[in-house]
Chain A
Amino acid sequence: MTVDFLIDWFSTIGNFPILAFILAVVISGIPLFLFMALNAMVAVYAERKVSAFMMDRIGPMGQGPGLHAGKWGLLQTVADAIKLLVKEDTIPQTSDKLLFKMAPFIIFIGAFLGLAAVPFNSSLQVVDFNVGVFYIIAVGSIGVIGIVMAGWSSNNKWSLYGAMRSAAQIISYEIPAGLSIIIPIMMAGTMNLQTMIQFQSGSIWGILPNWIIFNNPFTFLAFFIFFISAVAETNRTPFDIPEAESELVAGWMTEYSGFRWAVFFLSEYANMFVVSGLAVAGFLGGWQSPIPGMFDSAGWGLFWFMVKVIFLIFLMMWFRWTFPRLRVDQLMHVCWKVFIPIAMFNIFGVGIWKLIIG
């Protein structure tokens, strides 16, 4: 369901290019928004259950719809959503009200736009950019503006600390993430996500799928740098210093409540999906089947893509409930003194590899 397809289809009816464009954007945007909400709901439920099982608890449980939170607590996130939507929306007296109201939506836009370029399978992608990788990295940075706005406008010292930490962290970790995602671009010779995934079809020696991660040692390393940087970019533990609960109360979200806070949450989980989607498309073969030559119809493609993305999201949750939190200077140390040199070396290594081995 690409926007181009819709525009083409509208233009067969009549010649209203602007109307066709608006309709196409709305028609593809609404399912995307619904997907984002669904993703957040499933992810919140999963996070509750994953954390519960890791902590030797059972998490939300219930006796059935209408009572408590549904069977196995399945309705827990519905209850959470209703609670958040009916909650009082407080705006601090001393805040900068315009910025305070705008900030959640800017963060939301960053996450939403990123989702538009995620290739769910060979045809299910809202917009198939020729610079898809570049686009996702670029719109991913919009969120940090919203975070700084939220932190500054709240007029709260905790929010300010959180926002400043977040800005420093996200901007820093974009560099190793960007340097690592250059490697699939070098391998596939394109920034187009679909072409990049098609490049990863087939197999290596008939056993391993021909995914970029398995291509050579440098790409293997690059995947981990990219994934860890992606975790840092989404402000998840062990890199959750911007919202470090034990230090900064709730960081830049301290003053937010109700729907605005829900929007932050929605964006956080959408961001996790987008960065995992990019990692899957760039390194793990996108919608390609892990068994070369089998199960590679379009329907299976969607299945494989979701399985891989959900696995990466599960990894992020696993990190969160296992690791302590880094300190802000240690975080920068890891980024600038460890990841960036290795990522640079990786680019060099992949270049040599391509030159010699091909």
Chain B
Amino acid sequence: MGVVQTDQMVLNIGPQHPSTHGVLRLEVMTDGEIVSQIKPHLGYLHRCFEKHSENVTYEQVIPFTDRCDYLASMNSNFGYVVTMEELMEIKVSDRVEYIRVIMGELNRIASHLLALGVYGLDIGAFTPFLYMLRDRERILDMFEYTCGARLLYNYMWVGGVSHDLPKDFEKICIGFLDYFEPQIEEYNNLLTYNKIFIERTADVGVIPADVAISYGVSGPNLRGSGVNWDVRKDEPYSIYDRFEFDVPIGEGKFGTLGDCFDRYWVRMLEIKESVRILRQALKDLPSGDVHQALPKKIRPPKGSIYRRTESPRGDLGYYIISDGSPIPSRVKMRSPAFTALSCLDEVSKGWMISDVIAILGSLDIVLGEIDR
């Protein structure tokens, strides 16, 4: 028998495909099941966020930030208002800061729950996805109770938040946390410690720390590679320096450091840390006003600023140039999911099609944020 001659085949995964997490198109070169090259094609969800921002006032940018990372709108809002307040040198009241942290961390839990659930779906486990969505639903209910919206909140404004917390919010939130914490163990028993799940994710798609850093990967993906970098800890913004929490990093629990399992596991641990922050924030929540007297039209002083915050997907940076008018001269968003996607080609080479899906899922990309 001679050597079997095989040929490369181009396979288009997406833009309509069950597990591209939105409208992403991957042009994959395959030889049988083995993948040799991946070209991601972006732009199917491009909505001109940055150009739009140059034509609306500073406050009107906030709803656009909602629509970028639609799974963690609170954190997108958070980043923008923190940047704006730093540019304008405003100090907001303590209650506002606490509310923002509470909302940001709740949204982080919601976003991670979706990421982990969908990751199970990518690997083929259907049930954990519904368990996690069930619990995410309760967080969305709390958001709805607070600000009326379930997905795109437009909640954090420059100098305050749109609505004060409802009177019994603390009770509801603590009730949720008490219910939710034991659920994490249930997810672990159902999905995380499943032998097949470990086989599929451990040692797969390893991103070494130096590769992750050179591609600018951030957030849980970077921490999965064992790099201890969390903007909340290392460049504290808002009031994150008042809370006690750990930064979970990957340790190669079942395989190599920086594999898909580590990224998954870091997210699972981060949920626990968010619960810790929430408990502290709810305990110390001060009373006060949530609106600050600001002129109708915000006119920041001339100048520019870059500020980064920790969104569930990583370093979410805003670069804002002000020319002194009520309309921003330039708003640039540094998207963590975009940089995470850029390393997909290097990481996925030589793996199988199933693994590419697993690696893509472990990067937890949101196409709204990548395309903006």
Which positions in A face B, CB cutoff 8 Å?
Answer: 51, 54-57, 157, 161, 237-238, 240-241, 244-249, 320-330
Per the bound structure, the CA–CA distance linking A249 and B355 in Å amounts to: 15
- A325 near B130 with CB under 8 A, answer no
Question: Interface readout for B98-139 with A: 1 if CB under 8 Å, 0 if not?
Answer: 000000000000000000000011111111001100100000
- Tell me, yes or no, whether B353 is within 8 Å of chain A by CB: yes
Contacts of A327 in B (CB 8 A): 199-200, 352, 354-355
- Tell me, yes or no, whether B90 is within 8 Å of chain A by CB: no
Q: Give residues 18-33 of B contacting A (CB, 8 Å).
A: 18-19, 33
- A324 near B352 with CB under 8 A, answer no
Per the bound structure, the CA–CA distance linking A91 and B120 in Å amounts to: 33
Per the bound structure, the CA–CA distance linking A249 and B18 in Å amounts to: 6
Query: Quick one: which of A238, A246, A322 contacts B127, CB cutoff 8 A?
Result: A322
Question: Interface readout for B1-24 with A: 1 if CB under 8 Å, 0 if not?
Answer: 000000001010000011100000
Given known A-B contacts A240-B124, A241-B354, A324 and B9 have beta carbons under 8 A apart: no
Contacts of A157 in B (CB 8 A): 9, 11
Query: Quick one: which of A56, A245, A326, A328 contacts B33, CB cutoff 8 A?
Result: A328
- Tell me, yes or no, whether B213 is within 8 Å of chain A by CB: no
Which positions in B face A, CB cutoff 8 Å?
Answer: 9, 11, 17-19, 33, 120-127, 130-131, 134, 190-191, 194, 196-197, 199-200, 352-355, 357
Query: Quick one: which of B33, B121, B125, B134 contacts A323, CB cutoff 8 A?
Result: B125
Tally of A-B residue pairs with Cβ under 8 A? 78
- The residue of chain B having its C-beta at the shortest distance from the C-beta of A164 within the complex is B32
Per the bound structure, the CA–CA distance linking A247 and B355 in Å amounts to: 9
Given known A-B contacts A324-B196, A326-B200, A327-B355, A244 and B127 have beta carbons under 8 A apart: no
- B17 near A249 with CB under 8 A, answer yes
- A328 near B126 with CB under 8 A, answer no
- B124 near A238 with CB under 8 A, answer yes
Per the bound structure, the CA–CA distance linking A237 and B18 in Å amounts to: 17
- The residue of chain A having its C-beta at the shortest distance from the C-beta of B357 within the complex is A247
- The residue of chain A having its C-beta at the shortest distance from the C-beta of B198 within the complex is A324
- The residue of chain A having its C-beta at the shortest distance from the C-beta of B351 within the complex is A327
Given known A-B contacts A57-B130, A237-B124, A324-B125, A246 and B357 have beta carbons under 8 A apart: yes
> What are the 6 closest A-B residue pairs judged by CB atoms, nearest first?
A325-B124, A246-B19, A324-B125, A55-B130, A324-B123, A324-B124
